[in-house]
Amino acid sequence: MAIGSRNPFGRSQGSHPTLSAKVESAHPVPKAKGVQVNWRDGHASIYNTTWLRVNCPANVHASGQRLASPGDVLDVTPVTVAPAEGKEGMRVTWSDGHESVYPSQWLRLHDSSVSSIIDRQVRQWRAGGARVSENQGSWPVALRSWEAIPKVAFADFTAGEEGVYQLLRSVNNTGLCTLEGVGTEPDTVESIAQRISPLSHSMLYGRTFDVISQDNARNIAFTSEHLRPHQDLVYYESPPGLQLLHCLHYDASVEGGASLFLDAFEAARLFRKAHAEAFSVLTTTPATFQKIRKLVVQEEGEGGEGDKGEVEKGGYSTANAAALSASYMTYQRPHIEVDTDGEITGVFWAPMFEGTLHVPSKDIQPYYEAYALFQAFLEVGDFAEEHTVRARMQPGQCMVFNNRRMLHGREGFSGSGKRHMQGCYTNVDESLSRYIVLHNDHIKATSGGTIADKDAASHGAVRRWGNGTIPQVMQGL
């Protein structure tokens, strides 16, 4: 019987989509330090013995934390192995006297054979309406027009958890979502974010920041200049997950200033196909990202805002006052991160916030050549033309987007009118956790069953958020 045979371009061989299969037989495989489970549907799985002992359901505290660690049980071996009652799982007694019972569903969900891993990925993404790529990666259909950006009414968002879920599901599926009918009251963006998760990354620019054209700006975003496609705060070890931008003012007399968005994961995926060698360079050569600025000390008594928010006496804005503080942040990482299977797990791109490259001399020129290719891929040519969506945001709209996945930018603008956005950030892990919990609740509420009953749907909606993981169904929710 073939165990874990592989077919990466379609349904994997040797595995079955159902998680309800029963255990036909089970026995130790000492040479492999494993236990083999033969399933009634014809599939066979081998589970490492230490992995089984560490993950015994009985070794979990009531609080949810694991009690056994690998170092505690490394030498423990199975004494007896057999199907559990009704063949609904497997029962193991161990050399340390412990007894474990593993449910069939749990075992199939965590089958580590390559075929089963691929099969789950294929089913997860197909359940969510996505295509499956040739390199085992799976991606949502790329955004091609501004009109295709999902929209959620602000009234629905504030009415209950279902509105929050619909917004986060849209962000999960396409990378961004527009809240419509928000109004133009300052600081509304903070209350919107807090319905998702606590605000984050507030040291440099405050809990919220104002994207307006200012004199003596401490960030190029606070000018009227063109902004290349980029992500915010990539000089953090963990950049923001969600970014929110609420349009407060956009006078008709302002010329230009359209917002633009581009899917960085889709760009990296297609760049790999077009320029494999350059892609490899960008996954192995660490760029330097930085935010270094000096303290600005204002004289006591300065105040009184002018038309654009400048402090009359000192020339610095009272809006974005946190940006006057000193900072020294640097972080080295490749522009593209991949996991052990070659799957793209992160993209980090912010040309305006890059410092001096610190790599061996032999790596410098290849890096710059690869960088130039990727920059051109993002900014000019067919991919940029087809995948960059842009438009003038309207007062009362709030864009919520995944800063880990979506590059954003802005056309330069001019004129005597006012263009004013207010923004903030949330943490990627907390925002994703909020989405998964809401999603699982939604599946239960709409199906009348459990997550297990709707496994494909429950898995299918979770896409990569750029924090290195594809979350699985959370047990016990």
Q: What is the pLDDT of residues 102-139, one digit of tens each?
A: 999 889 888 887 666 666 665 555 544 444 443 333 45
CATH code for 138-432? 3.60.130.10
Could you tell me the pTM of the whole model? 0.81
Question: How far is the C-alpha of 363 from the C-alpha of 360, rounded, in Å?
Answer: 6
Amino acid at 312: E
Query: Would you put residue 97 in left (φ > 0), alpha (ψ -120 to 50) or beta?
Result: left
What is the pLDDT averaged over residues 142-158? 92
Identify the band that residue 314 occupies on the pLDDT scale cut at 50, 70 and 90.
very low
Identify the band that residue 464 occupies on the pLDDT scale cut at 50, 70 and 90.
confident
Beta bridge partners of 25: 38
Task: Write out the two tokens for 35.
Answer: 């236990």
CATH code for 23-119? 3.30.2020.30
**Coil, helix or strand at residue 28:** strand
Q: Which of 3-12, 134-143, 153-162, 302-311 has the lowest mean pLDDT?
A: 3-12
Question: How far is the C-alpha of 373 from the C-alpha of 440, rounded, in Å?
Answer: 41
Predicted confidence (pLDDT) per residue in 368-416, tens digit = 999 999 999 999 989 999 999 999 999 999 999 999 999 999 998 898 8
Identify the band that residue 319 occupies on the pLDDT scale cut at 50, 70 and 90.
low
Q: What is the pLDDT of residue 133?
A: 44
Question: How far is the C-alpha of 178 from the C-alpha of 401, rounded, in Å?
Answer: 9
DSSP 475: T
Task: Please state, rounded to an integer, the average pLDDT across all residues of the chain.
Answer: 83
- The full set of domain ranges for the chain reads 23-119, 138-432
Predicted confidence (pLDDT) per residue in 176-233, tens digit = 999 999 999 999 999 999 999 999 999 888 899 998 887 776 777 778 788 899 999 9
DSSP 310: B
Q: What is the pLDDT of residue 450?
A: 53
Identify the band that residue 466 occupies on the pLDDT scale cut at 50, 70 and 90.
confident
What is the pLDDT averaged over residues 74-97? 94
